[in-house]
Amino acid sequence: MAYKIGILGATGAVGQELIRLLHERNFPISELRLLASARSAGKTQTYQDKSWTIQEATPDSFDGLDACIFSAGASQSKAFAEEAAKRGCIVIDNSSAFRMDEGVPLVVPEINPDAAFEHKGIIANPNCSTIITLMGLYPLHQAFGLKSVIASTYQAVSGSGTGGIVELEQQTRAWAEGGEMKKEVYPHQIAFNLLPHVDVFFDDGYTKEEMKMLNEGRKIMSLPELKVTCTCVRVPVFRAHCISVSAEFERPVSIEAAREAVAGFEGSELVDDPANAKYPMPLDYSEVVNCGVGRIRKDQVFENGLALWVTGDQVWKGAALNAIQIAELLHDKGKLKG
């Protein structure tokens, strides 16, 4: 069985990694339909030794597709997802457009795979920082019962798409050469700086990105009472997000049991040997399938608490890879043909 698969946003940071990972993971494809804006229409892309022409996305673009992975931002998802689903094309959406909608599963395959089969045409891929955090937290939840979370993120510029990568590169070069730094993607210089500001601010002082950790975490883990407070920070790192987490659990914790739980969890690996300066870092987790978890220690504030550090490639596990894993789940159960 081979599928007709579309990628909306094929020219973007996530789109390009989708094309690469579909190839590397040998996903069975008979037709690859690459969609983007009018700016990219007519450009070509090689996939499995064949040249595919990029097309401008229109409602008709989804006719005949078995599935399409959407990676062109929430407004494009809102414009096209329901139309695509009506035409029998299963949408796996990387944007925030439908994540909290009832009837739209929000899926991390290692955590809630069965939710994927309850879709009505659209499946949402969670927020990148949330996925990576949960790859460290979920095995601990299984071991001790999660109650509350305090988290700070360290988010790479590729999380803002190709524009973020270009901006950090340009500013770093300008700094070295004494040139002018351009600020187009971020409100302040990102090179040699940190911005405690990811996505828009709400009236209560939290950002939209920070609230995703709470709302999406609750939905994915089916923990409606979970408490989360989060500070999201953009850092001058090209790729792979990190999250510092303090978590409170229902039951008494032990470091040994925590390490065992993380080490045995598919998709995560334990890198926790501080005496030898071994802990997960963005450079080691760029273009890597698994997320790294380390610095596990007793939290000094919570009674049954653990502190930990999680790192993962947000373009892969936070977006492209997770979306493909969802498609693989459907394929494995014979549920991908439209």
Ligand X SMILES: NC(=O)c1ccc[n+]([C@@H]2O[C@H](COP(=O)([O-])OP(=O)(O)OC[C@H]3O[C@@H](n4cnc5c(N)ncnc54)[C@H](OP(=O)(O)O)[C@@H]3O)[C@@H](O)[C@H]2O)c1
Which value, in Å, is the radius of gyration of the alpha carbons in the chain?
A: 20
Cβ 310 to ligand X shortest distance, Å:
16
Q: Which of 314, 325, 327, 330 binds ligand X (CB under 6 A)?
A: 314
> Does 15 participate in binding ligand X (rule CB under 6 A)?
yes
Q: Which long-range contacts (CB under 8 A, 24 or more apart) does 107-110 make?
A: 107/220, 107/322, 107/326, 107/329, 108/134, 108/135, 108/138, 108/220, 108/322, 109/267, 109/322, 109/325, 109/326, 109/328, 109/329, 110/135, 110/138, 110/265, 110/266, 110/267, 110/268
33 appears as a binding residue in the annotation: no
> Does residue number 78 form part of the binding site for ligand X (CB under 6 A)?
no
Q: Is 158 one of the binding residues for ligand X (CB under 6 A)?
A: yes
99 annotated ligand binder? yes
Annotation-wise, does 295 bind a ligand? no
The one among 57, 111, 191, 214 contacting ligand X by CB under 6 A = 57
> Cβ-closest residue to ligand X?
12
Catalytic pick among 241, 242, 291, 331: 241
Whether 188 is a known active-site residue: answer no
Minimum distance, C-beta of residue 185 to ligand X, in the bound complex (Å): 9
Residues 114-143 that bind ligand X (CB under 6 A): 128
Work out whether 162 is an interface residue with ligand X (CB under 6 A): yes
Q: Which of 282, 55, 303, 15 is nearest to 155 (CA)?
A: 282
Give the interface segment with ligand X, choosing from 161-169, 190-198, 217-225, 264-272 (CB under 6 A). 161-169
Rounded CA separation 174/191 (Å): 10
Is there binding between residue 282 and ligand X (CB under 6 A)? no
12 is in an annotated binding site: yes
Scanning 155-163, 223-231, 281-289, 326-334 for contacts with ligand X by CB under 6 A, the matching segment is 155-163
> Is-catalytic flag, 89?
no
> For residue 238, which of 131, 295, 154, 153 has the smallest C-alpha distance?
154
Do 206 and 214 touch, CB atoms closer than 8 A? no
Helix (H) or strand (E) holding 168: helix 162-177
Output the DSSP codes for 20-62. HHHHHTT--EEEEEEEE-TTTTT-EEEETTEEEE-EE--GGGG
CB 79 within 8 A of CB 55: no
Among the listed residues 88, 113, 163, 236, the single contact to ligand X using CB under 6 A: 163
Nearer to ligand X, 57 or 214 (CB): 57
Q: Is 9 in the site for ligand X (CB under 6 A)?
A: yes
Residue 99 beta carbon to ligand X: minimum distance, rounded to whole angstroms: 11
Region of residue 216 (phi > 0: left; psi between -120 and 50: alpha; otherwise: beta): alpha
Q: Does 39 bind ligand X (CB under 6 A)?
A: yes
**Which residue do the tokens 């000094």 mark?**
300
Least CB distance from residue 225 to ligand X, whole Å?
Answer: 27
φ, ψ of residue 258 to 5 degrees: the values are -65, -45
Is 155 annotated in some ligand binding site?
yes
Total binding residues toward ligand X, as defined by CB under 6 A: 29
Residues identified as active-site? 128, 241
What residue ranges bind ligand X (CB under 6 A)? 9-15, 36-37, 39-40, 57, 71-74, 76, 94-95, 128, 158-159, 161-163, 314-315, 318-319
Which residues are annotated binding-site positions for phosphate?
99
